[in-house]
């Protein structure tokens, strides 16, 4: 049945030289295809991602292509902020700043000489220390390896408030989302925020905000409703397929990945999204055909993460880890967006 439907779709498309959207609407009604974004649909979005990527030129100064801040890294977790920061660099950011606890800093520094690491997150002056850097940061990624220590989360609240006041775009993941679930008003209505929950984090957030369990048969509707309830900020529900919404549109990224899930994959996504968010907002909606630039950024980061997963899995199979995926960022980016 599915094969027949697919064949019919192809036939219809080749037979009718109509514009895509009305035809898609017709198809959705005729074949209830609304759950599946077709290849062609994804291809349109890929083109929009390509449009927001700044060209490499010799005229730019260091920092212009992205200075990304990461808020996270504590005694237990040092890998996540490293993965997020190095992914941002590999995607094309010029500089990354990790703001972590005093204890975590030397560990994170020892992973890589390429990161700037500030041991401030558990200090009494954390909010002020990070605030000083905010004017120089293009996006703040909040949550990788943050943990749930009360004092740290209190500081992160202050950092979120300062970032919003200064209009700094925010990507919130992991325990940053746990904080948001405790206090949704921290992010509600802030248009430059992107949340990247996995299914568990999504359910927690959904129940906190909508006071209702998630209908697991309607991912699209659930993501759309949560986005609207939070004031139309952009939400990426990571899963077998990534569902992305800004309260108005729903995009699905079903770029082929692999069946291998490793811890740290989400950090690759949040770090690369940090860069793409900056590029997308810089490019503006003229470059995205009127589509919300944050949706385009989110789609790009999801597709890239999946492609890295696929390529790493081809080489390493079951033993694939996030480090293998990060090694694929360059080639995967080139394959998806530069050819």
Q: Which residues bind ligand NAG (CB under 6 A)?
A: 228, 231-232, 247-248
Contact residues for 295 (Cβ-Cβ < 8 A; gap 6+): 234, 244, 245, 246, 249, 251, 288
d(CA 177, CA 238): 13
Whichever of 215 and 248 has its CB closer to ligand NAG, that residue is 248
The CB-of-250 to ligand NAG minimum distance in angstroms stands at: 11
Whichever of 51 and 228 has its CB closer to ligand NAG, that residue is 228
d(CA 320, CA 330): 17
Whichever of 51 and 232 has its CB closer to ligand NAG, that residue is 232
Q: Report angle CA 268, 270, 272 to the nearest 5 degrees.
A: 65
The CB-of-33 to ligand NAG minimum distance in angstroms stands at: 22
The CB-of-173 to ligand NAG minimum distance in angstroms stands at: 23
d(CA 217, CA 79): 34
Dihedral, 116, 120, 122, 127 alpha carbons, nearest 10: -120
Contact, 64 vs 49, CB < 8 A? no
The CB-of-234 to ligand NAG minimum distance in angstroms stands at: 12
The CB-of-242 to ligand NAG minimum distance in angstroms stands at: 20
Contact, 256 vs 311, CB < 8 A? no
Among residues 267, 261, 227, which one has the least CA distance to residue 244?
Answer: 227
d(CA 311, CA 260): 11
Whichever of 71 and 244 has its CB closer to ligand NAG, that residue is 244
Whichever of 114 and 248 has its CB closer to ligand NAG, that residue is 248
**What is each CA distance from 117 to 15, 71, 88, 166, in whole angstroms?**
58, 10, 14, 22
The CB-of-185 to ligand NAG minimum distance in angstroms stands at: 14
The CB-of-220 to ligand NAG minimum distance in angstroms stands at: 14
Task: Identify the helix (H) or strand (E) that includes residue 175.
Answer: helix 174-182
Whichever of 229 and 282 has its CB closer to ligand NAG, that residue is 229
The CB-of-144 to ligand NAG minimum distance in angstroms stands at: 28
Distance of CA 295 to the CA centre of its chain: 9
d(CA 242, CA 303): 9
Whichever of 44 and 228 has its CB closer to ligand NAG, that residue is 228
Whichever of 265 and 288 has its CB closer to ligand NAG, that residue is 288
Question: Phi then psi for 115, rounded to 5 degrees?
Answer: -100, 150
């Amino acid at each position: 049945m599915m094969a027949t439907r697919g064949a019919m779709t192809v036939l219809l498309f080749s037979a009718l030289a109509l514009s895509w959207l009305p035809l898609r609407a017709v198809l959705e009604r005729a074949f209830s295809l609304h759950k599946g974004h077709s290849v062609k649909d994804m291809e349109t979005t890929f083109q929009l991602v390509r449009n927001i990527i700044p060209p490499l030129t010799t005229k730019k100064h260091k920092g212009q292509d992205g200075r990304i801040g990461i808020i996270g890294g504590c005694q237990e977790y040092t890998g996540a902020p490293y993965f997020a920061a190095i992914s941002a660099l590999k995607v094309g950011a010029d500089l990354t700043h990790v703001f972590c606890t005093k204890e975590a800093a030397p560990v994170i520094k020892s992973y890589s000489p390429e990161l700037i690491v500030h041991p401030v997150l558990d200090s009494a002056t954390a909010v002020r220390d990070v605030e000083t850097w905010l004017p120089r940061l293009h996006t703040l990624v909040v949550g990788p390896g943050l943990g749930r220590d009360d004092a740290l989360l209190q500081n992160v609240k202050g950092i979120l408030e300062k970032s919003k006041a200064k209009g700094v775009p925010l990507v919130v993941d992991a325990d940053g989302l746990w904080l948001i679930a405790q206090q949704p008003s921290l992010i509600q209505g802030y248009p430059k925020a992107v949340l990247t929950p996995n299914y568990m984090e999504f359910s927690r957030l959904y129940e906190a905000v909508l006071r209702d369990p998630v209908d697991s048969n309607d991912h699209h509707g659930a993501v759309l409703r949560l986005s609207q309830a939070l004031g139309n900020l952009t939400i990426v529900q990571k899963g077998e397929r990534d569902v992305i919404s800004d309260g108005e549109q729903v995009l699905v990224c079903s770029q082929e990945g692999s069946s291998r899930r490793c811890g740290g994959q989400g950090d690759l996504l949040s770090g690369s999204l940090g860069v793409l968010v900056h590029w997308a907002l810089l490019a503006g909606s003229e470059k995205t055909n009127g589509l919300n630039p944050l949706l385009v950024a989110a789609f790009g980061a999801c597709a890239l993460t999946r492609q890295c997963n696929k390529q790493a899995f081809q080489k390493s199979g079951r033993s694939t880890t996030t480090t293998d995926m990060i090694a694929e960022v360059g080639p995967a980016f080139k394959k998806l967006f530069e050819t």
